[in-house]
Amino acid sequence: MSPEPSVDQLIEAAHARATSDDPLDLLDAVLALTRDVSARADAVVDQIVRQARSAGYSWTVIGERLGVSRQAARQRYADRLARTPPTVGLIRGRDLEAALASALAAAEADHLAEAGTEHLLLGLLTDGVAAATLEQLGVSRDKVRDAGHRLFDYPAHPDHEGRPVFSAEAQAALAGAEQLATERTLTCAPVAVTTPQLLAVIATNPGSRARRVLNDLGVDVADIKRLLHCYVNVPRTPFGRRSRRGRVGKKQPDHCSFCGHARSDERRLVAGPDVWICAECVTLCGEILARPVDSSRDHSPGITGSGSQAWNPRS
């Protein structure tokens, strides 16, 4: 097992992800780094809790090891385990496989040993929903490549030959995309990871190299969230869409009426007349409403009552 990274190594990694030497930019990078580590740690805990339950341990025993009550352990993990049963497989869509191959090819063309998230951004322009989203916002492969060479200190005379590997940041982004896809899949169907999840992860990470490229190109991340919302925030059911009504006489758990996520300790809901909304959707609404009004654009709502983002090809 590799040794745990030291504080100095973590700070060095944060400096590599920061957009500048400004302390606030460094703070953003540190927070992004800790979120990546926390997400992977949470995924590990979920897997081990599943193993403990499969071995026959009660929620009382598991709660004691976690330092929480039986009820708290059950509330925190039971729904997660039910949504991602052990029989569920995780597959990568063809669009994502093509994007990853293209990202490695781009790093190889630069004679680099590692492909970073800026190369993932290049790869995402190959095919699929992410490519259509980026192109709609005026992002092209040439622009991303030029920004990458301008922003990052690539070797002037690179001597690496052979196939590169993904950097630690790129691997964390892929893990985040897989986690996002897993959380949004509520059925026993295989979990499909595609380009929208990966774009959502690298674009919303303020310290990622891909985010620095997008900032350099003047791309508003709120636009990316808006265009991807219906692809990464609407959970699937066996019928391909979220049912609006439950069975008569059976109490349904509280869900956000916009994104469909259930109430949890991490996701609090605000109630209205027969409607609920979570903090994440409130934030998205604020970002959309904060945008200046453009008379040349379609003024249809940004979020529809059915829980999906209105797709406006002229946005």
* Per-residue model confidence as pLDDT tens digits over 35-88: 766 766 777 787 788 778 877 888 888 988 888 888 888 888 877 666 554 444
pLDDT higher at 262 or 215: 215
Same domain, 228 and 98: yes
Average pLDDT estimate for 147-165:
78
CA nearest neighbour of 184 among 245, 67, 262: 262
CA distance 102 to 131: 12
In a domain, 240, yes or no: yes
pLDDT category of residue 307 using cuts at 50, 70 and 90: very low
Average pLDDT estimate for 175-179:
83
Same domain, 204 and 179: yes
CA distance 274 to 302: 20
Tell me, what CATH number does 151's domain have? Answer: 1.10.1780.10
Same domain, 219 and 112: yes
Tokens of 220: 């508003």
Same domain, 209 and 246: no
Residue 141: per-residue pLDDT: 93
Of 34, 51, 83, the residue at which a domain comes to its end is 83
CA 67 to the chain's CA centroid: 29
Residue 238: per-residue pLDDT: 35
CA distance 79 to 42: 14
In a domain, 26, yes or no: yes
Residue 310: per-residue pLDDT: 41
Same domain, 101 and 208: yes
Same domain, 142 and 210: yes
Give residue-wise pLDDT tens across range 88-127.
456 788 889 999 999 999 998 888 888 999 999 999 999 8
Q: Which amino acid is at 246?
A: G
Tokens of 298: 């379609």
312 sits in the region (left: phi over 0; alpha: psi -120 to 50; else beta) called beta
pLDDT category of residue 169 using cuts at 50, 70 and 90: confident
In a domain, 1, yes or no: no
Same domain, 102 and 166: yes
Predicted confidence (pLDDT) at residue 306 exceeds the cutoff of 80: no
Same domain, 21 and 129: no
Residue 124: per-residue pLDDT: 95
Average pLDDT estimate for 122-139:
92
- E strands within 180-287? 191-193, 269-272, 275-278
Rounded to the nearest 10°, the torsion over CA 193, 199, 203, 204 is -30
pTM, rounded to two decimals: 0.52
Same domain, 108 and 202: yes
In a domain, 101, yes or no: yes
Q: CB within 8 A of 112, min separation 6: which ones?
A: 154, 155, 158, 160, 164
Q: Name the average pLDDT for the chain.
A: 75
Same domain, 210 and 265: no
Q: How does DSSP assign 152-198, residue by residue?
A: S---SS----S--EE-HHHHHHHHHHHHHHHHTB-SSSPEEE-HHHH
Of 198, 215, 232, the residue at which a domain comes to its end is 232
Host domain of residue 149: 91-232
In a domain, 263, yes or no: yes
Enter the DSSP assignment of 4.
P
pLDDT above 70 covers a percentage of the chain that reads 71
CA distance 217 to 211: 10
In a domain, 112, yes or no: yes
Predicted confidence (pLDDT) at residue 304 exceeds the cutoff of 70: no
Same domain, 28 and 17: yes
Same domain, 111 and 199: yes
In a domain, 246, yes or no: yes
CA distance 58 to 69: 12
Of 83, 101, 133, the residue at which a domain comes to its end is 83
Question: Do 224 and 206 meet the contact criterion of CB atoms below 8 Å apart?
Answer: no
CA distance 234 to 184: 7
In a domain, 187, yes or no: yes
Q: Please tell me the total count of domains within the chain.
A: 3
CA distance 239 to 234: 13
Burial class of residue 155, CB neighbours in 10 A (0-12, 13-18, 19+) = exposed
